[in-house]
Amino acid sequence: MRGYLGLQLLGWTLAAFTSWAVATGFTVSLLATLAYEWTHHLIHTDYVPRSRFYKGLWRAHRLHHFRNENYWYGVTSGLGDRLLGTYPGKDDVPLSPTATTFAHLGA
């Protein structure tokens, strides 16, 4: 993680013209990374989603791991998957022989 943060800081230092822009860009990048990592962590725990939005993220990411790893790449958003055509219906995609199966997950 330190290497990633260092690259972020270097990138913002090279791209921005003022120290305020560097600080703002780095802070926004850090917060986005933390949101991504926290969401990804929760998806991989026994935490049961409550909101409709999070339930959708939870289901799609679990389908990625337990149905077919060639679809449903998004963790914090399904927008990229929808644009790239990697967000099909569950039954429209065959079960991958390399996907892990856990019937109790309900994905």
Same domain, 34 and 78: no
Report yes or no on whether pTM surpasses 0.95. no
Same domain, 42 and 60: no
Question: Can you give the pLDDT at residue 41?
Answer: 92
Same domain, 55 and 99: yes
**Which pLDDT tens digits describe the chain residue by residue (107 residues)?**
668 778 888 888 888 888 888 889 889 989 998 998 999 999 888 888 899 999 999 999 989 888 898 999 998 888 999 999 999 999 999 988 887 655 444 44
Question: Can you give the pLDDT at residue 11?
Answer: 83
Question: Can you give the pLDDT at residue 107?
Answer: 45
Same domain, 73 and 39: no
Count up the domains in the chain and report the number. Answer: 2
Residue for token pair 């790449």: 73
